Amino acid sequence: PFRDPDPSVYQMRSPKTGRTVCLFTDFDSQADFQKPEGATVISLNSTVLDMKVMDSKSNGALTWNSETNIECKENFQQPFYPSSNYSCDAKLIEKSFETDMDLNFYNLLVIGLRILLLKVIGFNLFMTLRLWSC
């Protein structure tokens, strides 16, 4: 678990259109955030994530512009660490979310066996009570 994580800036750029989306996370509500000229900014007034157990809060904002390119580091007055070494490819991310093909079958099998076990226990209980009543 992270306590008071450092603010992060994620910049995603489309190779085809050159459009950029900036995601700002884990910043304080009083952070110096400048809205890019002509860009759309989505920001919540309330805290996005409030973990009372860990005494931690996290805010986030999202900016994009459909016409021009946005430089994320110029809009957020915090240290910016570009991650040009790592590509953000949706196909690579999709592979990590694949599930086992037999997962649903095994889940249904376990549920079926639990129901069968409950029926057997109920039948044994019923027969035991019936024998005691005789």
pTM (whole model) above 0.75? no
pLDDT tens by residue, 19-76: 777 777 776 655 555 555 655 655 555 545 555 555 556 666 666 666 556 666 665 5
* Residue 130 or 104, more confident: 130
pLDDT at 123: 97
Residue 119 has pLDDT above 90, yes or no: yes
Looking at every residue in the chain, the average pLDDT score rounds to 69
pLDDT at 102: 78
Instruction: Give the architecture (CATH level 2) of 8-84.
Output: Sandwich (2.60)
Which element (helix H / strand E) includes 41? Answer: strand 40-43
DSSP state of 33: B
Q: Spell out a b/e string for 21-58, using b for 16 or more CB atoms within 10 Å of the CB, else e.
A: bbbbbbbeeeeebeebeebebeeeeeeeeeeeeeebeb
The domain spans of the chain are: 8-84, 96-134
13: Cβ contacts below 8 Å, ≥ 6 apart: 19, 20, 21, 69
For every residue of 82-98, DSSP letters joined together read --TTS---HHHHHHHT-
Percent of the chain past pLDDT 90, that is, above it, reads: 19
pLDDT tens by residue, 73-115: 665 565 555 555 555 555 555 555 666 677 888 999 999 999 9
pLDDT at 1: 44
